[in-house]
Amino acid sequence: MSSVTAPDRSPHATYQSPLADRYASKAMLTLWGGQTRYGLWRRLWLALAESQQALGIDIPDAAIAEMRDHLDDIDFTAVAAYEKSFRHDVMAHVHAFGDVAPAARKFIHLGATSCYVTDNTELVLMRRGLSLLREKLLDVLEALGGFAREWKDVPALGYTHLQPAQLTTVGKRATLWMQDILLDLEDLEYRIASLPFRGVKGTTGTQASFLTLFDGDHAKVRELDRMVCERMGFKTSIPVSGQTYSRKVDAQVLGVVAGIASTASKFSGDIRMLQAFGELEEPFEKNQIGSSAMAYKRNPMRSERIAALARFVLSLEPNANQTHAVQYFERTLDDSANRRLAIPESFLATDAILVLMQNVTRGLEVHPARIRRRVDDELPFMATEELIVRFVRAGGDRQEAHEIIRGHSIAAARAVKDGAPHNDMLERLAADPSFGVSLEDLKSAAEPSRFVGRAPQQVVEFLDEHVAPWLARERTAVELEEVRV
| SS3 (DSSP) at 159 | strand
> Is 70 noted as a catalytic residue in this protein?
no
Residue 265 bears catalytic tag: no
Of 231, 246, 309, the C-alpha closest to 23 is 309
Q: In degrees to the nearest 10, what's the CA dihedral of 65, 71, 75, 80?
A: 110
DSSP string, 78-125: HHHHHHHHHS-HHHHHHHHHHHH-GGGTTTTTTT--HHHHHHHHHHHH
The residue among 63, 48, 56 whose CA lies nearest residue 214 is 56
Distance, in Å, from the CA atom of 340 to the CA atom of 352, rounded to the nearest integer, reads 18
Contact status, residue 89 vs residue 177, Cβ threshold 8 Å: no
Given a contact cutoff of 8 angstroms between Cβ atoms, the answer to whether 448 and 157 are in contact is no
Q: Which of 3, 12, 161, 292 is catalytic?
A: 161
Separation in Å, CA 281 to CA 26, 157, 394: 27, 16, 44
Radius of gyration over every alpha carbon of the chain, rounded to an integer in angstroms: 31
Burial class (CB in 10 A: 0-12, 13-18, 19+), 313: buried
Asked if 295 contacts 351 with a C-beta cutoff of 8 angstroms, the reply is no
Our CA angle for 21, 24, 25, nearest 5°, is: 110
Q: Looking at 131, 291, 438, 444, which residue is catalytic?
A: 291
Find, among 39, 124, 193, the residue nearest to 343 by Cα. 124
Long-range pairs of 468-477 with CB within 8 A, sequence gap ≥ 24: 470/138, 470/141, 470/182, 470/185, 471/138, 471/141, 471/142, 471/145, 473/138, 475/135, 475/138, 476/131, 476/135
> Count of CB atoms within 10 A of residue 155's CB?
23
> Catalytic residue numbers?
161, 291
